[in-house]
Amino acid sequence: MSRTLKIILAINLAMLTALVFIYPHLMVGPGKLIPGHRALEADCFACHVAFTGASSATCVSCHKPADIGRLTTKGLALAKPATSAAFHQQLTSQDCVACHSDHAGVKRFAQAGRFNHSLLKKEAREACQACHKSPTDALHQQVTGNCLQCHSQDKWTPATFDHNQYFALDKDHNVRCVTCHVRNDYKAYTCYGCHEHTVVNIRRKHVEEGISKFDNCVECHRSANEHEIKGGKEQRRSKKNGQDD
């Protein structure tokens, strides 16, 4: 490498180094800061601690956890809160960067709307409707609470619950949830909530077959199809024989 080339290289690199210190937000910052922090753009160490990244302690020195979602950093009431309910007070620890990124370049690829619910205290974690609105479709409007029976906290869809595993809802059973699940208690059900099935006619039909134990219908009937009885005739026969003993 010639001496002239070496000098040109050294000058260029010195200029680049100077530019890094004069314009750090352009040279090394991963994109523009959010509007609220724009004033800090050229002062990286306002938020960052050398070698350990953005410090949550610095965040909470302005953003008091008790006020987040309720008041601004100046103590004024929030006109348009970003979430329907304040929940930062319910976090198990103050790890701001676990969810927040202030630089556009990082923010762009953060998974929007993803929130790790394990960061919430147990009681807040189970009170889904404190933050989330219930869907307005006919099915969910009948349901109050108990979201976790069908949905996980990682994803809303797919719902983890498959009704067909317990009982197939055919055209004759396409009814309101409360018809079978009284008081929206999905741990219990009754088959006597409609006019078709009554204790009397069900007892008569089962006694005719020699079956006296028929209090838990879905133990044998997983659909309305009479030919799809779980265990079939043999199981019924053994049940019958067992009772005879």
Partner 1 sequence: MKSSLWRSHVLPFSLLLGVLAAATLSGSYLLHRLNLVWVGRYMGIPGTLLIIGSMYYSLRKRKLVSSGNPKTLLTLHEFSAWLGSLMVLIHAGVHFNAILPWLATVAMSVNVVSGMVGKLLLGRAREHMQGERSHFALRGLSKPEIEQAMFWDAVTVDAMAQWRKVHIPIFVVFAALALGHIVSVFLFWGWV
Residues that bind partner 1 (CB under 8 A): 1, 5, 9, 12-13, 16-17, 19-20, 26-31, 44, 48, 50-54, 97, 103-105, 108-109, 111
Sign of CA dihedral 135, 138, 141, 146: negative
One-letter amino acid at 123 equals E
CB of 146 to partner 1, least distance (A): 30
- Closest CB to partner 1 among residues 36, 105: 105
Whether the link from the prior residue into 135 is cis, omega within 30° of 0, is: no
One-letter amino acid at 90 equals Q
Q: Count H helices, E strands: the chain?
A: 9, 2
One-letter amino acid at 89 equals Q
Sign of CA dihedral 110, 114, 117, 118: negative
- Closest CB to partner 1 among residues 115, 167: 115
Structural contact between residues 56 and 97, judged by C-beta atoms closer than 8 angstroms: yes
Structural contact between residues 193 and 179, judged by C-beta atoms closer than 8 angstroms: yes
- Closest CB to partner 1 among residues 35, 242: 35
Separation between Cα atoms, residue 87 and residue 115, nearest integer Å: 12
Separation between Cα atoms, residue 143 and residue 200, nearest integer Å: 30
CB of 37 to partner 1, least distance (A): 15
Q: In terms of residues, how long is the chain?
A: 245
CB of 150 to partner 1, least distance (A): 24
CB of 121 to partner 1, least distance (A): 24
- Closest CB to partner 1 among residues 29, 65: 29
- Closest CB to partner 1 among residues 80, 114: 114
CB of 97 to partner 1, least distance (A): 6
* Beta pairing partners, 77: 71
- Closest CB to partner 1 among residues 16, 78: 16
CB of 58 to partner 1, least distance (A): 12
